Amino acid sequence: MPFLKVGVENTSDIHIYYEDLGSGKPVVLVHGWPLNGASWERQTSALLAAGYRVITYDRRGFGRSDKPSTGYDYNTMASDLSQLISALELKDAALVGFSMGGGELARYMSKYDDGKVSKLCFISCITPCLKKTTENPEGVDAKVFEEMKQKIEKDRFAFYASFFPSFYGKKMLGGNDVSSEVIEHSAHVASMASYDATLWCIDAWLEDFRGDLATIKVPTLVIHGDTDLTVPYAASGERTPKFIAGSTLYTVEGGPHACIWTHATEVNKQLLSFLHGEKPLVVK
């Protein structure tokens, strides 16, 4: 199993776990909270079938990566991504981020990009600025995130039981017919993440990425479900293209936060069309 050293804490090295599959142009998939790189399985399969080289990795603190007590800020997490791109000597790569993974994309492009990345895709991402303030009134009230942290501090395993049905837009909420097994599996995966990573990543979500997005000059696709209850469409996906010149928004009608699973065929079609450079892209 491949691991990459990205740092040190006291006497222990910090490694992230990654998988590097297929050949062709590289596509790096950056997962969301509180899952791991395996959550991309429906995209990985489609990308490999289309002839791409696919790299997934587990963010520090999640999955099979090491679980240090520090580094759950976007400068550090983007640095981890940068080190992976450099170690694998990737060129002409596409970066695809889901949910909090969009933060790594934005920060990497503003802080570390040196021409190795040629395309970006933000799916259900937290960009451009999730925290509501007087100069960012479209954001989400900070008390929502404090309440999440309080529930995690009290009993994060009980929190997952209520979080994931909304994450997938479970049919009982008036959305998608997602099996209970999918929800149970996600809760199990989340339970394997470290407590520190699960808790402190929430603070990272509140970082302001508007300045980072403005530095992006490569073709960019934004995909977001209009019934996302986790990262609201109006506060995120609908706004992100306004900060990236020439970017394109594709709205998944009826799509929940985890549209990479519930609407995988639709999402994959748009992602592959974008990566292939096919025009016109169908936009809703």
DSSP 249: E
Chain position carrying tokens 């991309």: 40
Residue 131 backbone phi and psi in degrees, to 5: -80, 130
3-state secondary structure of 2: coil
In a domain, 283, yes or no: no
pLDDT bracket for residue 123 (50, 70, 90): very high
Pick the catalytic residue from 99, 124, 186, 194: 99
Residues 6+ apart with CB under 8 A from 195: 152, 156
The answer to the question of residue 207 being in a domain is yes
Q: What is the pLDDT of residues 28-65, one digit of tens each?
A: 999 999 999 999 999 999 999 999 999 999 999 999 99
| Domain that residue 33 falls in | 3-276
- Residue 174 pLDDT: 74
Is 188 inside a domain boundary? yes
pLDDT band at 1 (very low <50, low <70, confident <90, very high): low
Q: Give the pLDDT score at 172.
A: 67
Q: Is residue 281 part of a domain?
A: no
Amino acid found at 189:
V
3-state secondary structure of 129: strand
212 is catalytic: no
Catalytic residue among 15, 31, 224, 257: 257
- Residue 221: inside a domain, yes or no? yes
Q: What is the CA radius of gyration of the chain?
A: 17
- Which one of 80, 228, 236, 247 is the catalytic residue? 228
Under the banding of pLDDT at 50, 70 and 90, the label for residue 279 is: low
* Whether pLDDT at 73 is above 80: yes
Task: Give this prediction's pTM.
Answer: 0.96
Residue 162 included in any domain? yes
How many domains is the chain built from? 1
> What token pair was written down for 179?
């099996």
User: What CATH number is given to the structural domain containing 69?
Assistant: 3.40.50.1820
pLDDT value of position 152: 98
Do the domain assignments include residue 214?
A: yes
Q: What is the pLDDT of residues 178-224, one digit of tens each?
A: 999 999 999 999 999 999 999 999 999 999 999 999 999 999 999 99
* Mean pLDDT across 243-258: 96
Over residues 245-249, the mean pLDDT reads 96
